Amino acid sequence: MMKERKRMSRKDKYFFRNQGFKTKPACFKVFKDLMRRCEPNILLTEDTVIRDSDIKYLFKTYFDGADSDFFNRKFGKDFEGFQIGFDRKWGDRQLQVRRKSGENYAFTYKIFSCFGPGHKSLEGDYRYRVDQALRYVADEERTKYKNLKWNPSRCEECGEWTAHNKSNIDHVPDFKDGVQLFFEKTNSNYETLLLHTRKDELCDTRWTFTKEIHDSF
């Protein structure tokens, strides 16, 4: 009988599916590839591409917060199981909890410390809240731009003609420089913008700005 060989070394820090990884991005890449192959909106079992036991393993091993409020919201009495669904705003695949009531609740992979900073870090990292809200605004602008510009244009990197809805649209300057320029232009900072952040109504581990601030961009 053939046995699955474990690919691990003493230098590995993170482990998933009998594989060891030195970095979080490398570990998440394997998980993200599985998400892409997973049939959406189907309850995870031991026969699906991502297994139900995979998610339970991640919670047991890499969820660093004993947040009773989080578990009450996500895993109430009508908890039915886990699934891979679609972000209702951007269409990206995401982790979801399915409730017997028919509602789905998303949660970010970043709560697992093998993929991202971990739940405790996210809850206490105020710069993360503001950065995520700013990225939300940038992502919304990119999506609108893609939907408006259907005619092909030449890529500035490779010169190939590509339709906007099939291309990657990046802001200039890059995100970090853009945030600094925004702070200088508006005489604001992380502390002042933090007061105007809130949890997204569709994903309570994702942060956005209040409507007044969001509409001011």
| Residues ≥6 apart with Cβ < 8 Å to 47 | none
Distance of CA 33 to the CA centre of its chain: 14
pLDDT of the residue at 20 = 94
Beta bridge partner(s), residue 96:
83, 106
Angle of CA points 16, 95, 36, to nearest 5°: 70
Q: Which tokens belong to 131? A: 């950065």
Whether the model pTM is above 0.75: no
pLDDT at residue 100 in the model: 87
- pLDDT of amino acid 24: 92
- If you average pLDDT over residues 111-119, what whole number do you get? 83
Query: Does residue 205 register a pLDDT over 80?
Result: no
Q: Which letter does DSSP use for residue 71 in this model?
A: H
Of all residues in the chain, what percent carry a pLDDT higher than 70?
A: 66
5-9, 43-47, 120-124, 193-197: least confident range: 5-9
Report the alpha-carbon distance of residue 83 to residue 35 in Å, rounded.
Answer: 10
For 184-193, write each residue's pLDDT tens digit: 888 888 888 8
CATH class of the domain comprising 14-111:
alpha beta
CA 53 – CA 70 distance, rounded (Å): 20
Contact at 8 Å (CB) between 74 and 65? no
H helices present in 84-174, as ranges: 119-124, 126-148
Hey, what are 36's tokens? Answer: 């892409």
* CB-based contacts of 99, cutoff 8 Å, min separation 6: 76, 78, 79, 80, 105
36 has a pLDDT exceeding 60 = yes
Q: In this predicted model, which residue has the larger pLDDT, 145 or 159?
A: 159
Kindly report, as residue ranges, where domains of CATH 3.10.450.40 are found in the chain: 14-111
Query: How many CB atoms neighbour CB 198 within 10 A?
Result: 15
Q: What is the pLDDT of residues 85-98, one digit of tens each?
A: 987 666 678 899 88
**Gap between the Cα atoms of 163 and 155, Å rounded:** 10
Asked if residue 26 lies in contact with residue 63, where contact means CB atoms within 8 angstroms, the answer is: no
pLDDT at 115 over 70: yes
